[in-house]
């Protein structure tokens, strides 16, 4: 953020230079003094200052200017900087008009030209305006500014991407006055949201995730064309592989389509992970792992989707969504799973507008004093219920089965039972989600009584298990009927090696049907769906990569 601004605008070059000179002499150390020769030029400067987040303390405008007079300019300037103090520069003959402006359009004062000596006729007036501005100065807004709509799915995705990647940003609702002022300064409208304004005043209208990641300072482009190891997926398994690969001297790059941590990174509290007796949030765990991997030299690309895996002799190539290829000696597939779609009427239309897959912790403040529903009975759902109970009026956990004992850890069941705001409805399924533009109610079915009930709801969070995102691997590696990737012994049907294997050895324990391509974490067939086991498989995969690279 720059110094607070004192801006003068006068179409007379001599007067413009004189007022700027006198202002700099008195206020130049503490304020940035700018001058403009027309109202349009001054408004353009104010828009730039608004986008940069720089404060404006005082506006001085000549009363008589062509095209737009001083009163009209100050009225328009108020739309951008409503708390800046305002004064008219006027000749004696226009005193009545200046006084009328003070009464009608909230001008603070007027200054007669000429103002010699400034110590008597200029500085006391400006001093008073600066003091008044300081008493009501705008809050400082640094870094990325994001203007969006409360119930806009693209706006939610932009907020979520920034938050999960620990990028500081300030949110402005398009319906609020400051959000409208930023849109005006950016030359954008409500239909352009989300609108992103960076610290250096770049403006993006409804950017893609890669565009947003780039201007937010995240790495989206590989530094090299070839690596020892490419890790696809940034969940616990992928981060574990990146840490161990880089720490053991492999040139390692990790490619993640959203943010480090995967589904685990969205967990509000993990309390059964080894070494954290007081628990740790998934975001904190992911950030520590990311920093650890970077410390050892791993490169991490974010907001990049991998769309294909290719074989070129001994080289393995992963193809990114922008068409670029990254070559490597070996690949670790750690893409995890994505939450399955509910397939319930109304849910798809309201996703991102009250319905969310995963915990969406950026929504926590919006849940204050509201009724929240969570679909699922596993640990992730229980952790979300505990988290949102700190904000919401009520949290209702919808569980298809007859109890939580078969799917949730005992410590979480005990926590939930001790929180009055949380209720658990077993043998209950969601039948519909309803709302005009955003979620307003849900319909529930009690499987035991057959009763249907429609109840108010502001937020619905879905945790119903995952499906692997492996369609892009079609034809590259063997997958089972559910899309998971079998490895090692799982590939040895009747003791035979997989078709097209081509090596005089059996596949290693975590190796796929394509030599040199290993699989770790939830995407692997028959894996244990736990954070600790995923990290362990990531580390084990690197050991097997070394063994693969050392073979003749």
* 535, pLDDT greater than 80: yes
The C-alpha atoms of residue 317 and residue 331 are separated, in whole angstroms, by 9
Pick the CATH number of 5-135 from 3.40.50.740, 3.40.50.300, 3.40.50.2300, 3.30.930.10: 3.40.50.2300
Q: What pLDDT does residue 100 have?
A: 66
3-class state of residue 59 by DSSP: strand
pLDDT at 144 (0 to 100): 87
Q: Per CATH, the architecture of 350-464 is what? A: 3-Layer(bba) Sandwich (3.50)
Q: Model confidence at 142, in pLDDT bands (50, 70, 90)? A: low
H/E stretch holding 32 reads: strand 32-36
**Average pLDDT of the segment spanning 409-435:** 95
Confidence of residue 101 (pLDDT cuts 50, 70, 90): low
Whether residue 219 contacts residue 302, with contact meaning beta carbons closer than 8 Å, is answered with yes
Q: What is the DSSP letter of 114?
A: S
- Residue-level pLDDT at 398: 97
* pLDDT at 115 > cutoff 70: yes
pLDDT at 92: 65
- Summarised one tens digit per residue, pLDDT across range 350-383 is 999 999 988 788 888 889 889 999 999 999 899 9
pLDDT at 138 (0 to 100): 56
Strand, helix or coil at 433? Answer: strand
Contacts of residue 367, Cβ cutoff 8 Å, sequence gap at least 6: 388, 391, 392, 458, 459
User: 82 or 476: which carries more pLDDT confidence?
Assistant: 476
Pairing verdict, β 428-434 and 466-468: unpaired
Report, in this order, helix, strand and coil percent for the chain, each rounded to 5. Answer: 35, 25, 40
Query: What is the fold of 144-215?
Result: Glutaredoxin (3.40.30)
Mean residue pLDDT across the chain: 90
pLDDT for residue 372 = 95
Distances 182 to 24, 81, 189 between C-alpha atoms, Å: 28, 10, 10
- 166-175, 396-405, 441-450: range with lowest mean pLDDT: 166-175
Ranges in the chain annotated CATH 3.40.30.10: 144-215
pLDDT at 60 over 60: yes
Could you give the C-alpha distances from 157 to 151, 163, 164, in angstroms and in order? 11, 10, 10
Q: Is the pLDDT of residue 426 over 90?
A: yes
pLDDT, tens only, 263-311: 888 787 788 888 888 788 888 899 889 989 999 999 999 999 999 999 9
Q: Which residue(s) pair with 144 in the sheet? A: 169
CB of 442 closer than 8 Å to CB of 460: yes
pLDDT tens-digit profile of 175-204? 889 999 999 999 999 999 999 998 888 899
Query: Is-contact 230 331, C-beta < 8 A?
Result: yes
CATH assignment, 226-338+467-550: 3.50.50.60
Straight-line distance from the first to the last Cα atom of the chain, in angstroms, rounded to the nearest whole number: 58
Q: DSSP label at 494?
A: G
pLDDT of 140 over the 60 cut = no
Q: Where in the chain is the domain with CATH 3.50.50.60?
A: 226-338+467-550, 350-464
Q: How many residues does the chain have?
A: 552
How would residue 97 be classed by pLDDT, with cut points 50, 70 and 90? low
Structure tokens that stand for 373 in this block: 């529903």
Question: Measured between alpha carbons, how far is 552 from 549 in angstroms, rounded to an integer?
Answer: 8
Helix (H) or strand (E) holding 518: strand 517-519
Q: By percentage, how much of the chain surpasses pLDDT 70?
A: 96
Closest residue by Cα to residue 330 from 474, 489, 515, 502:
515
User: Model pTM?
Assistant: 0.76
The conformation of residue 136, written as its DSSP 8-state character, comes to T
Distance CA 29, CA 361 (A): 43
Least confident of 94-108, 143-157, 277-291, 309-323: 94-108
DSSP per position, 280-344: B-HHHHHHHHHHHHHHTT-EEEES--EEEEEEETTEEEEEETTS-EEEEEEEEE---EEEPP---
Residue range(s) of every CATH 3.40.50.2300 domain in the chain: 5-135
**Token pair for 227:** 């690596």
Structure confidence at residue 552 as a pLDDT band (50, 70, 90): confident
pLDDT of residue 137: 62
Give me the pLDDT at residue 360, please: 80
Q: What's the rounded Cα separation, in Å, for the pair 497 and 505?
A: 9
3-state SS assignment for residue 258: coil
Q: Stretch 66-73: mean pLDDT, rounded?
A: 86
At residue 102, the pLDDT reads: 64
Task: Write down the pLDDT at residue 547.
Answer: 96
pLDDT at res. 201: 84
Phi and psi angles of residue 488, each rounded to the nearest 5 degrees, phi first: 50, -125
Residue 451 buriedness (CB in 10 A; 0-12 / 13-18 / 19+): exposed
Q: What is the pLDDT of residue 466?
A: 79
């Amino acid at each position: 953020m720059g110094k607070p601004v004192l801006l003068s605008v006068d179409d007379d070059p001599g007067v413009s230079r004189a007022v700027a000179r006198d202002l700099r002499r008195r206020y130049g150390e503490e304020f940035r003094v700018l001058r403009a020769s027309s109202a349009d030029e001054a408004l353009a400067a104010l828009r730039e200052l608004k986008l940069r987040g720089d404060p404006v303390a005082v506006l001085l405008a000549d009363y008589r200017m062509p095209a737009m007079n001083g009163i009209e300019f100050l009225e328009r300037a108020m739309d951008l900087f409503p708390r800046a103090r305002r004064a008219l520069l006027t000749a004696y003959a226009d005193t009545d008009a200046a006084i009328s402006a003070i009464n009608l359009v909230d001008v603070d004062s007027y200054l007669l030209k000429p103002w010699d000596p400034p110590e008597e006729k200029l500085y006391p007036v400006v001093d008073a305006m600066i003091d008044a501005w300081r008493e009501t100065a705008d809050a400082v807004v640094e870094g990325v500014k994001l203007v969006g709509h409360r119930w806009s799915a693209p706006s939610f995705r932009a907020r979520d991407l920034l938050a999960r990647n620990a990028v500081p940003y300030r949110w402005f609702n398009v319906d609020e006055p400051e959000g409208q002022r930023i849109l005006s300064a950016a030359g954008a409208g409500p239909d352009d949201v989300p609108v992103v304004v960076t610290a250096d005043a770049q403006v993006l209208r409804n950017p893609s995730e890669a565009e947003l990641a780039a201007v937010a300072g995240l790495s989206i482009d590989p530094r090299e064309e070839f690596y020892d190891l490419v890790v696809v997926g940034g969940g616990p398994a992928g981060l574990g592989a990146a840490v161990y690969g880089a720490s053991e001297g492999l040139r390692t790059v990790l490619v993640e389509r959203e943010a480090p941590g995967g589904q685990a990174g969205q967990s509000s509290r993990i309390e059964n992970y080894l070494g954290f007796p007081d628990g740790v949030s998934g975001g904190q765990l992911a950030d520590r792992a990311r920093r650890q991997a970077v410390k050892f030299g791993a490169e991490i690309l974010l907001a990049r989707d991998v769309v294909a895996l290719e074989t070129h002799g001994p080289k393995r190539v992963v193809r990114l969504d922008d068409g670029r290829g990254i070559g490597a000696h070996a690949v670790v597939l750690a893409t995890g799973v994505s939450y399955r779609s509910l397939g319930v009427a109304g849910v798809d239309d309201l996703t991102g507008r009250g319905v969310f897959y995963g915990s969406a912790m950026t929504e926590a403040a919006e849940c204050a004093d509201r009724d929240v529903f969570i679909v699922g009975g596993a640990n992730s759902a229980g952790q979300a219920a505990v988290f949102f109970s700190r904000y919401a009026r009520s949290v209702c956990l919808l569980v298809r089965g007859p109890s939580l004992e078969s799917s949730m850890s005992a410590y979480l069941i005990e926590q939930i039972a001790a929180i009055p705001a949380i209720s658990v409805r077993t043998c209950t399924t969601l039948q519909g989600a309803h709302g005009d533009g955003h979620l307003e109610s849900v319909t529930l079915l009690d499987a035991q009584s057959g009763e249907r009930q429609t109840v108010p709801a502001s937020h619905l969070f879905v945790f119903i298990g995952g499906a692997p995102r492996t369609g892009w691997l079609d034809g590259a590696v063997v997958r089972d009927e559910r899309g998971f990737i079998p490895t090692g012994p799982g590939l040895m049907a009747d003791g035979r090696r997989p078709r097209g294997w081509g090596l005089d050895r059996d596949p290693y324990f975590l190796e796929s049907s394509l030599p040199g391509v290993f699989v770790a974490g939830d995407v692997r067939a028959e894996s244990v769906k736990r954070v600790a086991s995923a990290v362990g498989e990531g580390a084990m995969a690197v050991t097997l990569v070394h063994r693969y690279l050392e073979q003749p």
